Amino acid sequence: MTARKIIIDTDPGQDDAVAILLALASPEDIDVLAITAVAGNVPLALTAKNARIVCELAGKPEVPVFAGCDAPMQRPLVTAEHVHGKTGLDGPTLPDPEMPLQERHGVDCIIDTLRSEPAAVSRSACWGR
């Protein structure tokens, strides 16, 4: 069985960090093509940093991380520092990431990846034909 190819679109605070670690620890089942970070639990600069910290902690600095949107499209950004702390990963002291943030926008990464990867499900399967 081949690993399922995924893009993780996330706002890494402590909860998403655990989910990313689990995905990266399961290469036989999940092939993480990229991680796109958006503002959410904390502002975008921190979520993009947190995603890279988590990749490095998992020993997977080759997984590209892209910054996405810095706010929701339909409402003001509401963050959750009261839950995840001011960095989103408060608790243990974590080193700054060494891996670079990719230059392209997260949305462009998602679009380009979907266009370049073979379709996972045929149209007929989606439409019940």
Contacts of 61 (CB under 8 A, 6+ apart): 55, 98, 99
Residues 113, 33: contact at Cβ < 8 Å?
Answer: yes
Domain annotation for the chain: domains and CATH numbers: 4-126 (3.90.245.10)
Let me know if 21 is exposed, middle or buried by CB neighbors in 10 A (0-12, 13-18, 19+). Answer: middle
User: Beta strand pairing status for 4-10 and 65-67?
Assistant: unpaired
Question: 102 to each of 23, 62, 85, 111, 128, how far by Cα in Å?
Answer: 20, 11, 25, 15, 38
Torsion of CA 55, 57, 62, 66, to 10 degrees: 20
pLDDT per residue as tens digits for the range 92-121 = 999 999 999 999 999 999 999 999 988 765
- The confidence score (pLDDT) of residue 108 equals 97
Tell me which residue has tokens 């499209």: 73
Question: Does the model's pTM come out above 0.75?
Answer: yes
> Which residue positions in the chain have pLDDT lower than 50?
122-129
67 vs 102: CA distance, rounded Å: 7
- The confidence score (pLDDT) of residue 120 equals 62
